[in-house]
Amino acid sequence: MENIIEIKNADLHYNDFKALKNINMNIPKHEITALIGPSGCGKSTLLKSINRMNDLVEGCKIEGEFLLEGKNIYQDYDVNILRKEVGMVFQKPNPFPMSVYDNVAYGPRTHGIRKKKDLDDIVEDALNKAAIWEELKDRLKKSALGLSGGQQQRLCIARALAVKPKVLLMDEPTSALDPISTLKIEELAEELKKEYTIANVTHNMKQAARISDTTAFFLLGEMIECNQTTEIFSHPRNNKTEEYITGRFG
């Protein structure tokens, strides 16, 4: 199995605080990888490092290697190109205060696509892939801020997909959503992994067990265990993993 992302001996400091400790993990291509662990264990920090969202954070120092398709994320990529290849979806839906259409067209436009026909196609395609085209096709010119939370989140996924990334990082994408919207996003993830690779941070153990192929468990900045999801949830190797997923702490 091919690993689209490899992380080798990664350490991350926020000033004196070591938030990631010698992380070694791979993210397999066309799979969903779940990152789980108690609050503050460094899940978001790790996701952000893959996307270089920490570049502007004062006092943040990163050592070790982050590779995307074998190339060093910090040395071999221009950050704009990296962010085109690696999209990110956040916990709180954050649509731009503009129309549905402009939200989705935003990325492609910044990458130089101008022709209306091309943009129309991209917008329709991205909204389709995010399973929200039918709901929004008659409201493309309306403000994105008027959508429901679940719709906003799928719009944000569409916005991320519009630049045709290879990897989609999702940081608790469903934690602010109702069960139906959550289910839609989970089904969507299942569908999207055919074309994309997904890394999903979640506090929802059931969600991790339901949709991910691989699960990585983090604790206090360390990766404790990473294995096939069925293994982690039926027969974890590490006691700490067992204690966490069975709800004994965290």
Partner 1 sequence: MRELFIKQLEELNKSLHQMGILIQDAIHNAIEALKTMDKEKAKEIIDADSIIDHKEKEIESACLHLLLQQTPVAGDLRRVSSALKMVTDMERIGDHAADISEIVLILNKIEYQDILDCLMKMAETTTKMLDKCMNAYLSEDLKLADQVADMDDIVDNLFVEVKHAIANAVVMDKENGEQVLDLLMIAKYFERIGDHAENISEWVVFSITGVHKDERVI
Ligand X SMILES: Nc1ncnc2c1ncn2[C@@H]1O[C@H](COP(=O)(O)OP(=O)(O)OP(=O)(O)O)[C@@H](O)[C@H]1O
| Pair 229, 198: CB distance under 8 Å | no
Q: Which partner in Mg ion, partner 1, ligand X, none is near 41 (CB below 5 to 8 A by kind)?
A: ligand X
C-alpha torsion sign, points 120, 126, 129, 135 = negative
Which residues, 6 or more positions from 227, have their beta carbon under 8 angstroms from its beta carbon?
A: 214, 215, 236, 237
Segment near partner 1 (CB under 8 A), from 66-74, 107-115, 177-185, 232-240? Answer: 232-240
Query: What is the rounded distance in angstroms from the CA atom of residue 120 to the CA atom of residue 104?
Result: 10
Contact 224, 41 (CB under 8 A): no
Angle between the N-to-C axes of helices 149-161 and 116-129, in degrees from 0 to 180, rounded to the nearest 10: 130
Name the residue nearer to ligand X (CB basis): 97 or 247: 247
Q: In whole angstroms, how close is the CB of 205 to partner 1 at the nearest point?
A: 7
The verdict on 44 binding Mg ion (CB under 5 A) reads yes
Q: Name the minimum Å distance from CB 148 to partner 1.
A: 28
What's the min distance (Å) between Cβ of 244 and partner 1? 10
Out of 43, 83, 159, 240, point to the residue binding ligand X (CB under 6 A).
43
| Site membership for partner 1, residue 242 (CB under 8 A) | yes
Write out the residues near partner 1 by the rule CB under 8 A.
205-206, 209, 230, 232-236, 241-242, 245-248
